[in-house]
Chain A
Amino acid sequence: MEIIVLLKQVPATESLIRIDDDGASIKTDDIKWVVNPYDEFAVEEALRIKEAHGGSVTIVSVGPEKASEAIRTALAMGADKGVLITDPGVSDFDSLIVSRILAGALKEIPFDLIIAGHRSVDKDNSQVGPATAELLNIPHISMVIKQDITDSKIRCHKTVEGGTVVLEMSLPALITTQRGLNEPRYASLPGIMKAKKKPIDVKTIMDSGFDGDPIGESMVKTIVMKPPRERKDGIMIKGDSNLAKAAELVRILHEEAKVL
């Protein structure tokens, strides 16, 4: 089973996010970069499939050179090799361009299954997985919380409003991960040392198999970014008994918050 994981490096959610002077991008100096959490589920699931069915796991990422750190982390978890497709303008690409680059590269790498996070926590577009599947002309199932592979079929569970559905498709195919799929393993210290010797193939877009020349303009542009409204500290409701606390809560909701 040849498994590809699409992986993106994103700012850690605990990083201090500040909007840059252009108003449409973030300042990157104090940011801690990590593997997109949904892609960690993807790496973990790929490793489990490999452990059950054999084969290899290849990490593919489109990103700045720094993104090789994230690939290296996936290699330390146990993936076999990595491909980084990099370009100076990469952070401005919209989801469709990224998907076209990935689809181009994946035409040159044999695979049975592609796993991607259903969204990346930085731009939150939820597009790259499905778009890549479309461009490769393979089926896809999104937001998977459980999967099973038998023969050349993959059966997936996903949550829908009020319940679960089970879907099936033939391989090769693409799935995207949802929280609950698994608990990602750690990049262990021995894993880190092993990853040192694993290959990461760094390519420019033009030698990655991309067929459009030139890349073209992003069709979706970021106009402005706004920080969330500052949240006020919570208040502790004081009272001698639960009853007294409840009464005080009702009073506050009624008189101060004016929601009752």
Chain B
Amino acid sequence: MAERKLFTGGEFLVTEPRSDDVFAPEEMTREHKMIYAAANDFVKREIDPNIAQIEEKSEALTRSLLKIAGEIGLNGTDIPEEYGGEGMDKISTGLVSDVIGGTASFAVSHSAHTGIGTLPIVYFGTHEQKKKYLPKLAAGEWVAAYCLTEPNAGSDALNAQTTAQLSDDGKYYLLNGEKIYITNGAWADIFIVYAKVDGEKFTGFIVERAFPGVSSGVEEKKMGINGSSTTSVVFKDCRVPVENVLFEIGKGHKIAFNILNIGRYKLGAGVTGGSKMTIAEASKYANAREQFGKTIGSFGMIKNKLADMSIRTFMAESIIYRVAAMMDDRFRTSAIGAKTPATENAKMLEAYAVECSIAKVYCSECLDLCVDELVQVFGGNGYVAEYPIERMYRDARINRIFDGTNEINRLLIPGTILKRALQGRLSLFDEIQKLNNENNVYSFDPTKLDAALLGIQKYMLTTCKKILLISVGAAVNKFLDSLAEEQEVLAMMADIIMEIFAAESGLVRAQKHAAAKGEKKAVYHIAAVKIYMNDMVPKVVHWAKQILVASAEGDHLSDRLAVVNKLSAYPPVDTIKLRRLIAEKVLKTKRYPF
């Protein structure tokens, strides 16, 4: 196999990746599969039998489970071996999140601990800080929490009012302020806290619960994830030794935002595991429940749901492991390890900010689609508390809110891409320019199709990229510097970008799978891509036209609308038949079918 090309963030919009450039889950190594099996074993043996008790919000139980996870190595995939972890690749981290993601409240406690709680030290800590904290965190002996949000600093995280004042003897900082909605808030032994030094320099600190002046508020009463702890954490003249400043004074935003990037990736992996679980639950029930003398799984509309859940989850999974491999490739370019300087780590984590936001938004919305359809498949049983389904529905909802709301992430996706284009890091404007030449814009022409499998779909994907560029070009032209004010336009750009990334990840995956195992074995992959592209193009066209009418008028507008119309003409696929095919497989295997 050829070496994977090292992509820059957002580059997928302006290039055609070869299939060798996109990692597919089917390419997992033997060790990856064993990691997946080990994590599954853990969930089956330790979590599943305890789900009801976890739901009671038991600190003792969650702590003991985190310890067992630590013994197996499930807390330390990102922690270098030197500090008690396994120093594994991001695919392995993704696999662990994927499996544990199906465990509701425990998934949230585990993810906050191993992700946003631990990673600031992994990537931004000094050797001494790492030596002191990471082995305990890897072992699950200590639990970590991440304190960014405040009453007046939610989405606007930099608006923090917590302050840090250096003591007269210069030995410690005095922290004062209140953080709210902190996961693991009542249980954590250490907190990553952001505060403003001298009221202005936004800075990260590692705060131990044992430090004087730390207290947790009462548990929030929540819609879901009730087995996880969410409290305020108050710092009152809390004495934090200067050695516990994380990274540099005034550079807290570098930690906060870059850790959120990786946190978003992990969240995406976790919710994808959750989506897989909903498919298993739905198909088991659809096989068992009978109405009108038949199992409900035999009804077309139920099949449709099983197929839609599976197809979306297929794309989510394709995104997750593609992004994991991109990050791994990027990390491999530097001598990543225990000694990599924090500034270098910051660059690595920032590289795929766009892809991480896509993973977060796409996969959390996939889970919401899945839990919604799951309730529907269960009918009344989906609504009553005797079954776990209504809990899954409630648990899922938080994922669109924390780690940056999906609105904030939708702004970040085109925002980051445009910023990089302006900095010359992404050749976006050149590509837009090229489309001013008619010859570079062509309508559907079968003779120009890639003869390869899914040629039409691949062609349509290229077309969607063009449609996006045309609409982005028009919007930039019209709004110039005030584009940031046009959130509706930006959100539609984000949606198109996400759809393109998802479809491309799934498409290349299907092509690779067919190439490796033969078309017959890849029928479900192929069907998923055909259905997805068929349904996606009209949506992309709709958004693009909305962007265009908001951005252009007169001939300018009508010319472009005509181009979009011409580009988007293509033969529809019989998705009813293909959806049934996928649903049959789900019903037969009673699980996520890919």
Contact = CB atoms under 8 A, between A and B. Distances in A.
A189 interface: yes
B153 interface: no
A250 interface: no
Nearest to A29: B521
| Dominant secondary structure at the B interface | helix
A69 B74 contact: no
B34 A190 contact: no
B37 A187 contact: yes
B88 interface: yes
A193 interface: yes
Contacts, number: 49
Nearest to B92: A189
A73 interface: yes
Interface in A205-233: 233
A256 interface: no
A188 interface: yes
B77 A189 contact: yes
Interface in A174-199: 186-193, 195-196
Given A69-B30, A72-B34, A193-B86, A188 B589 contact: no
A189 B74 contact: yes
B72 interface: yes
Interface residues of B, number: 22
Contacts of B590: 16
Given A16-B589, A30-B589, A186-B71, A192 B41 contact: no
A76 interface: yes
A128 B563 CA distance: 72
A76 B589 contact: no
Given A72-B30, A186-B42, A190-B86, A16 B72 contact: no
Contacts of B92: 189
B5 interface: no
Contacts of A233: 288
A234 to B, nearest CB: 12
Given A189-B86, A190-B73, A196 B31 contact: yes
A189 to B, nearest CB: 3
Contacts of B37: 73, 187
Given A16-B590, A233-B288, A186 B34 contact: no
Contacts of A30: 588-589
| Dominant secondary structure at the A interface | helix
A227 to B, nearest CB: 14
A68 to B, nearest CB: 9
Interface in A20-76: 30, 69, 72-73, 76
B35 interface: yes
A55 to B, nearest CB: 24
A192 B38 contact: yes
A257 B115 CA distance: 55
Contact of B31 (A16, A186, A188, A193): A193
B476 to A, nearest CB: 47
A188 B71 contact: yes
A187 B38 contact: yes
A151 to B, nearest CB: 33
A16 B588 contact: yes
A189 B88 contact: yes
User: Interface centre among A30, A186, A195, A233, by most B CB within 10 Å?
Assistant: A186
Nearest to A76: B34
Interface string B68-93: 00011110110000000010100010
A186 B45 CA distance: 10
B502 to A, nearest CB: 26
Interface of B: 30-31, 33-35, 37-38, 41-42, 71-74, 76-77, 86, 88, 92, 288, 588-590
Shortest 7 CB-CB contacts between residues of A and residues of B: A189-B73, A192-B34, A186-B72, A188-B72, A188-B73, A189-B86, A187-B38
Given A188-B71, A189-B88, A193-B31, 14 more contacts: A16-B588, A30-B588, A73-B34, A186-B71, A186-B72, A187-B41, A188-B38, A188-B72, A189-B72, A189-B74, A189-B92, A192-B31, A192-B34, A196-B31
Interface of A: 16, 30, 69, 72-73, 76, 186-193, 195-196, 233
18 contacts: A30-B588, A69-B30, A72-B34, A73-B34, A73-B37, A76-B34, A186-B38, A186-B42, A187-B41, A188-B38, A188-B71, A188-B73, A189-B35, A189-B73, A190-B73, A192-B35, A193-B86, A196-B31
